[in-house]
Amino acid sequence: MGSQTTVNIDSVVNTLVGSARQAMSKFRNADQPFVDEAVTAIAWSLYKPENAASLAENAVSDTGLGNVQDKITKNQRKTFGTLRDLMRVRTVGVIEKDLELGIVKYAKPVGVVGAVTPSTNPAATPVNKCMMALKGRNAVIVAPSPAGWSTTNRAVELMREGLAIIGAPRDLIQILPAPVSKAMTESLMKAVDLVVVTGSQNNVRGAYSSGTPAIGVGVGNVPVIVDETADLQRAADLIGMSKTFDNGTSCSSENSVIILDAVYDDMMRAFAEAGGYLAKGDERDRIVDALWSAPEKLNRQLIAKDAEVLIEHCKLSAPADTTRFIIVEESGTGSAHPLSGEKLSLFLTAYRVPDFAAAVAKVRAILDYQGAGHSCGLHTTDLSRGQFMAAQLDVVRVLVNQAHTFGNGGGFTSGFPFTLSMGCGTWGGNSISENLNYRHFINVTHLSTEIPEDKPSEEALFGAFLKKYHPDYQV
């Protein structure tokens, strides 16, 4: 299909969209129990242990990214958590009543959703989006990364089988045929009712310029502070666990750690206990030269690879049998200091700063370079510092004493809704400043009935202002 004309590509897309609209017409009037059955059916298609395992194996085989065991965990954990969230809410009929305002809210579908998904999560992300979309009684057409098409196609087949079992239309979930091209994805974006993009910023920008309502996500590049009050070993264990999950493929994975001078050496010892290796001498330069194939372009041969691959490629003296991640010291930020950016790998940048104020300034500088709006973190026993960061930094999420990979995108102890798509607000060029969730897949009709007049006096609204700035004016 790579040589097909634009007319032929549009024809393929229009056929898919037509089938999606037919399926939606049969699903639109489904009641809440049947909608919840449909969501549960597609959740089970990925959560089922043998499916979670086979899709994880396919994903690593197809893309060369991450590792099988962590992808199994991701497939099941994200699906389980999202299902928990979705089973607790209504999306059919009346979803809210505000008697004081005389407003009753009715949920309606948004339409056919174009779901653009990345190679890093070719099974978990499509299923996650399809669960949310079907909760709103929508249909979905998945546009996968070409590298992950085979895995995503199998996930779609399994979801369609799950829908058929409960008697729901299979075509509520479809996929672009291989070979997926940029032109085909762009055609889909223009033909659907809502585009939801997780993946490259080129795709995000394409979605926003498609003329279709779109939701995109920003770049991850999480910096975390370790202050002088932190439980250092716990912080090291959490950061190490988060950094190494699926070989650093998560946009929520810690990329930089900013450590106060008073505990820097102790923290490095704690990192060593957690499997971290501190690069020495000219190893730092070899890492930089190897990790970036061009300015701001990561070397795909090293991203999301096992530690032993990095050790061998960069000729490090790290012990391959005990090293889980590699720490590289840095002082600067910006394009001249690529280690301050996102690395999608088991490399963690370490900064040494004199005090908490300098640490916050370093977080701001890192996010100004990459990761604007996404998130940052803090390990401390002084919770007021977390409040200060939340008040002062332009990020959507500030996590305190947590492993980012397991808290940012929804966790059983974090309170965020489970998702694989995290909005970064206007700071990151996004239309949402929260985790993607079911609310983004419903339209709401508001029924208004008359209430007692709610009209304050001019004195109540203008009195204090006029008294302060225009004392001679009488209301």
| Band of residue 2 on the pLDDT scale cut at 50, 70, 90 | very low
Interatomic CA distance for residues 326 and 310, integer angstroms: 9
pTM score, two decimals? 0.94
The angle at the Cα of 360, spanning 356 to 362, to the nearest 5 degrees, equals 115
At a CB cut-off of 8 Å and minimum separation 6, what does 7 contact? none
Query: Residue 1: pLDDT band by 50, 70, 90 thresholds?
Result: very low
232 vs 227: CA distance, rounded Å: 9
Tell me the pLDDT of the chain averaged across its residues: 96
Average pLDDT over residues 153-182: 97
Number of Cβ atoms within 10 Å of the Cβ of 355: 13
CATH class of 222-409: alpha beta
Residue type, 61: S
- 251 assigned to active site: yes
Catalytic entry in 251, 314, 376, 424? 251
pLDDT band at 4 (very low <50, low <70, confident <90, very high): low
Mean pLDDT across 107-127: 97
Other beta carbons less than 10 A from residue 32's beta carbon: 16
Evaluate whether the domain defined by 6-217+436-446 bears CATH number 1.10.565.10. no
Question: For 289-304, what is each residue's pLDDT tens digit?
Answer: 999 988 889 999 999 9
Q: Is the pLDDT of residue 226 over 80?
A: yes
Determine the longest span between alpha carbons in the chain, in angstroms: 81
Q: Are 47 and 222 in contact (CB under 8 A)?
A: no
pLDDT tens, position by position, 433-463: 999 999 999 999 999 999 999 999 999 999 9
- 143 three-state secondary structure: strand
Q: Dump the DSSP string for 288-336.
A: HHHHEEETTEE-TTTTT--HHHHHHHHT--S-TTT--EEEEE----STT
- Per-residue b or e along 5-25, where b marks 16 or more CB atoms closer than 10 Å to that residue's CB: eeeebbebbeebbebbeebbe
Domain boundaries in the chain?
A: 6-217+436-446, 222-409
